[in-house]
Chains A and B, each alone.
Chain A
Amino acid sequence: MEGYTGKILRVNLTDGEFAVEDLDPDLIRQYVGGRGLGTKILYDEIDPAIDPLSPENKLIFLNGPLTGTGAPAGARYMVITKAPLTNTIACSNCGGSFGPELKQAGYDGIIFEGCSEEPVYLWIDNDNVEIRPAIDLWGKTTHETDDLIKAEIEDKFVARDTQIACIGPAGENMSKLACIISNRNRAAGRTGVGAVMGSKKLKAIAVRGTKGIKIANKEAFKKAVISAMDKLNAGPVTHEALPALGTPVLVNIVNECKILPTYNWQSSSYENANKISGETMAATIVTKHKGCFACSIACAKCTKVDSPDFKGEGEGPEYENIILMGSSCGIDDLAAIAKASYLCNELGMDTISVGGTIATAMELFEKGYLTEKDAGMKLNFGNAKALVAMTEKMGRGEGFGLVMADGGAPLAEKYGHPELFMGVKKLEAPAYDPRGVQGMGLQYATSNRGACHVRGYSMANEILGVHEKIDPLVTEGKAAVVITFQNLTAIIDSAGLCLFVALCPGFLYEEVQGLLNGATGFNYTIDELVQAGDRIWNLERLFNKKAGFTKEDDMLPKRLLEEPAGPNNDVCRLNEMLPEYYKLRGWDNGFPTQEKMSELGLK
């Protein structure tokens, strides 16, 4: 098999057994890999109604066929499981070098089942697989874990080549905002996948591989790689904006469009946006540009903060968390935002959800629903020290942090104001206000893992005009645009590419097809890939249906539907888009019809 290794490692943590299994080539072809294939495996193997933190849940790490092959931005592994935060299907993906190394060791992925009694970590050196005790690692931060595992490896040159994915204290405490961290600062961030790892008492996976990945057609693949790189190098976002400033380039752009969540989405532009912009970040804290495996874009920014209150070093912050921890909390202190982000990486929490939850808490506090006594500190908007202190408490599960560590929805509920939670399906919304970019509202409402920007980034056309410039303020035609992005994203994710490639004009199915066919020799047609994207999206939907979701869950927070804001002083007119969306998807009552299912070969 080419592109893939064709092998998956199945590890049962309850009895400490593992086995190497063959992947079914027909299934791979239908679901491409990564997100698609992982969802299929999970759908077939678990009952979607189970408790995500029970031993019955499975945790799947899976590469795409392009991961580690040298396809530009082909760095990604995906974590598929039932999400503790949302109770939906979860697929969080992560760059760095972990996925590629796992593939070099001979595995497309790993399925974890059951639950260990004592903390363990998995060691993989090609064919040598061991479940090792991790009692000494339990309680350690992600950075400490990385250091300690590497220090245990006798040969320091092997240690140097080893790649690690792990959880921090947040994952151990099963915080529903916990993520999985690899390469110290890259995260499989959203929906609480780190808590599943914690529930299984799996602290880390360390892998080293030297086996090589087979490529089906060297010449065709090389041609596709060069063509993809040429495209990326001609795109203003992928060649200029992201390499120079990283994702924070968006701060000023989004603020100018008046769609920047501010004061927990009470407003959609921020007077001090410039203080937290990508430009300011580059001029003050960025020390270096960094790239995931084989990435020709290199959007990651290494940063260093010297100010005595918030001293630290790490990667980021990224755009989304600058806004959720910054303007949405009324905070314009970039050093504090960076510090809170470093803490999230070290303690293993999703920066977006942490920011969103703190913003909700701040509004509860300002309105007098949450008292200083309860919170243990003053949680007023603009309180940078509280942002950092609360982030640390959440990560360590201390004091009121323990309450907040399960996200904004239960918090707002507990204090009697569920409407102050700004998210969908309990997932805190990312940093684009749909009252001024209507398609994103439809995307948040319909995304299978809750309010999420990386499941269908219609922003690319609505605001950035990447492939085609369309009017962000209208609802007409948005259903089709959102569906197109959702299906394409399912393919990009499943292939193992970084979604940022789609921020390059014309980087659509053709480019992905060229790379996939060169690597796998599958000779996919475009139609087949479009249909596979549709199939993956529909299968995720079916998972959610079995998990108990209904059409009513495709809903935005009241604020976005009723309180006007944004450039047009409008609300998000979801009801003008949703029926058309269902119709175009071939769904009845929010779910695929029998007819649609048989068209896609789904059961």
Chain B
Amino acid sequence: MDKIRIKIDHSKCTGCRHCETACSSNHYENIVNPALSRIRVFIDEKTDQFFPVIAGPFTEAECTCKYDVIIDGKEYDECNVCRASCPQRTWFREPDTGVPLKCDLCGDPPSPNCVEICNHGALSIVEI
């Protein structure tokens, strides 16, 4: 499991969200639902910036210290690109139950579905 990592190159992402469909349908029987995906793409349509974010650990409460990040010269609230399954956000929690979702580097041996489906080179696998 720890033999590979996923590399995200947001500059190549087209905001297509194909990864979201792939991850969700891989984890649920016969269902496609971005809301159940462990990868979500933050899309800023005003600036056409697309940031794929892969779900990390569950946190019980939102951060007390908030900050902004500057990416490609544009400023964003860090919560937009954070990977935590956090109670203040809609992402990375099952919509009905609130159960946290976390990337499990799926496939056996790991063959992440999101990477497999991404046709634009934004997601790739790095062997370590």
Q: How far is the CB of A206 from chain B (nearest CB, A)?
A: 14
Q: Do A216 and B30 touch across chains, with their CB atoms under 8 A apart?
A: yes
Name the contact of A233 in the complex, choosing from B18, B79, B119 (C-beta under 8 A). B119
Name the contact of A293 in the complex, choosing from B16, B29, B33, B95 (C-beta under 8 A). B16
Select the stretch in A207-215, A372-380, A480-488 that faces chain B.
A207-215
Select the stretch in B1-9, B20-28, B100-108 that faces chain A.
B20-28
Q: Do B15 and A291 touch across chains, with their CB atoms under 8 A apart?
A: yes
A78 within 8 A of B: no
Q: Do A294 and B18 touch across chains, with their CB atoms under 8 A apart?
A: yes
Most chain A CB inside 10 Å of its own CB: which residue of B24, B34, B50:
B34
Number of A-B contacts (CB under 8 A): 100
Q: How far is the CB of B109 from chain A (nearest CB, A)?
A: 18
Q: Do A298 and B120 touch across chains, with their CB atoms under 8 A apart?
A: yes
Residue ID in chain A nearest B50 by CB atoms: A290
Q: Do B45 and A184 touch across chains, with their CB atoms under 8 A apart?
A: yes
Knowing A157-B90, A158-B90, the reply to whether A295 touches B45 (Cβ < 8 A) is no
Q: Do A222 and B119 touch across chains, with their CB atoms under 8 A apart?
A: no
| Complex CA–CA separation, A295 to B91 (angstroms) | 22
Q: Do B89 and A68 touch across chains, with their CB atoms under 8 A apart?
A: no
Q: How far is the CB of B97 from chain A (nearest CB, A)?
A: 12
CB-CB under 8 A from A295, the residues of chain B are: 14, 16, 18
Interface residues of B in 75-116 (CB under 8 A from A): 79-80, 88-91, 95
Interface residues of A in 296-345 (CB under 8 A from B): 296, 298, 300, 302, 315
Q: How far is the CB of B120 from chain A (nearest CB, A)?
A: 6
| Complex CA–CA separation, A464 to B106 (angstroms) | 41
Name the contact of A70 in the complex, choosing from B15, B18, B80 (C-beta under 8 A). B18
Q: Do B91 and A157 touch across chains, with their CB atoms under 8 A apart?
A: yes
Q: How far is the CB of A217 from chain B (nearest CB, A)?
A: 8
Residue ID in chain A nearest B35 by CB atoms: A210
CB-CB under 8 A from A458, the residues of chain B are: none
Chain B's interface size range is: 20 to 34
Residue ID in chain B nearest A97 by CB atoms: B17
Name the contact of B30 in the complex, choosing from A158, A218, A290 (C-beta under 8 A). A218
A287 within 8 A of B: yes
B69 within 8 A of A: no
Knowing A70-B18, A70-B22, A295-B16, the reply to whether A104 touches B33 (Cβ < 8 A) is yes
| Complex CA–CA separation, A69 to B22 (angstroms) | 9
Knowing A70-B25, A157-B89, A291-B120, the reply to whether A212 touches B32 (Cβ < 8 A) is yes
CB-CB under 8 A from A288, the residues of chain B are: 48
Q: Do A215 and B33 touch across chains, with their CB atoms under 8 A apart?
A: no
Residue ID in chain A nearest B21 by CB atoms: A70
| Complex CA–CA separation, A220 to B35 (angstroms) | 23
Q: How far is the CB of B82 from chain A (nearest CB, A)?
A: 11
Q: How far is the CB of A585 from chain B (nearest CB, A)?
A: 37
Name the contact of B95 in the complex, choosing from A160, A210, A218, A296 (C-beta under 8 A). A210
Q: Do B21 and A294 touch across chains, with their CB atoms under 8 A apart?
A: yes
| Complex CA–CA separation, A212 to B18 (angstroms) | 14
B55 within 8 A of A: no
CB-CB under 8 A from A60, the residues of chain B are: none
A580 within 8 A of B: no
CB-CB under 8 A from B24, the residues of chain A are: 212
| Complex CA–CA separation, A392 to B24 (angstroms) | 44
B125 within 8 A of A: no
Knowing A183-B45, A210-B95, the reply to whether A289 touches B30 (Cβ < 8 A) is no
Q: How far is the CB of B65 from chain A (nearest CB, A)?
A: 18
Knowing A158-B90, A160-B80, A212-B28, the reply to whether A72 touches B18 (Cβ < 8 A) is yes
How many of chain A's residues have a CB under 8 angstroms from any CB in B?
Answer: 44
| Complex CA–CA separation, A290 to B122 (angstroms) | 12
Most chain A CB inside 10 Å of its own CB: which residue of B21, B28, B36:
B21
CB-CB under 8 A from B46, the residues of chain A are: 147, 184
| Complex CA–CA separation, A215 to B25 (angstroms) | 9
| Complex CA–CA separation, A70 to B117 (angstroms) | 10
Residue ID in chain A nearest B11 by CB atoms: A288
Knowing A184-B45, A229-B119, A291-B120, the reply to whether A211 touches B33 (Cβ < 8 A) is yes
A56 within 8 A of B: no
| Complex CA–CA separation, A225 to B119 (angstroms) | 12
| Complex CA–CA separation, A158 to B88 (angstroms) | 11
Most chain B CB inside 10 Å of its own CB: which residue of A68, A294, A296:
A294
B42 within 8 A of A: yes
Interface string of A33-76 (1 = CB under 8 A from B): 00000000000000000000000000000000000111010000
Q: How far is the CB of B114 from chain A (nearest CB, A)?
A: 11
CB-CB under 8 A from B119, the residues of chain A are: 72, 229, 233, 296, 298
Interface residues of B in 42-71 (CB under 8 A from A): 42, 45-46, 48, 50
CB-CB under 8 A from A298, the residues of chain B are: 14, 16, 119-120
| Complex CA–CA separation, A265 to B125 (angstroms) | 52
Q: Do B17 and A293 touch across chains, with their CB atoms under 8 A apart?
A: yes
A161 within 8 A of B: yes
Knowing A214-B30, A218-B30, A296-B119, the reply to whether A289 touches B14 (Cβ < 8 A) is yes
Residue ID in chain B nearest A296 by CB atoms: B119
A578 within 8 A of B: no
Most chain B CB inside 10 Å of its own CB: which residue of A72, A212, A296:
A212
Q: Do A157 and B88 touch across chains, with their CB atoms under 8 A apart?
A: yes
Q: Do A69 and B21 touch across chains, with their CB atoms under 8 A apart?
A: yes
CB-CB under 8 A from A287, the residues of chain B are: 48
| Complex CA–CA separation, A291 to B88 (angstroms) | 29
CB-CB under 8 A from B17, the residues of chain A are: 97, 293-294
Knowing A229-B119, A294-B21, the reply to whether A214 touches B16 (Cβ < 8 A) is no
Q: Do A218 and B14 touch across chains, with their CB atoms under 8 A apart?
A: no
| Complex CA–CA separation, A160 to B82 (angstroms) | 14
Residue ID in chain A nearest B90 by CB atoms: A157
| Complex CA–CA separation, A214 to B18 (angstroms) | 16
Interface string of A85-96 (1 = CB under 8 A from B): 000000000000
A-side residues, CB < 8 A to B, are 2, 68-70, 72, 97, 104, 146-147, 155, 157-158, 160-161, 183-184, 209-218, 222, 225, 229, 233, 287-296, 298, 300, 302, 315
Q: A217-B30, A290-B48 are in contact. List 10 more A-B contacts (CB 8 A).
A: A68-B32, A70-B117, A104-B33, A160-B80, A210-B95, A212-B24, A212-B35, A289-B14, A291-B15, A302-B48
- 12 A-B contact pairs sorted by A residue (CB < 8 Å): A70-B18, A160-B42, A212-B28, A212-B36, A213-B31, A213-B32, A213-B33, A214-B31, A217-B30, A292-B16, A294-B16, A294-B18
For the complex of A and B, list the 8 residue pairs with the smallest distance between their C-beta atoms, beginning with the closest: A70-B21, A212-B33, A291-B16, A210-B35, A291-B14, A210-B95, A296-B119, A298-B14
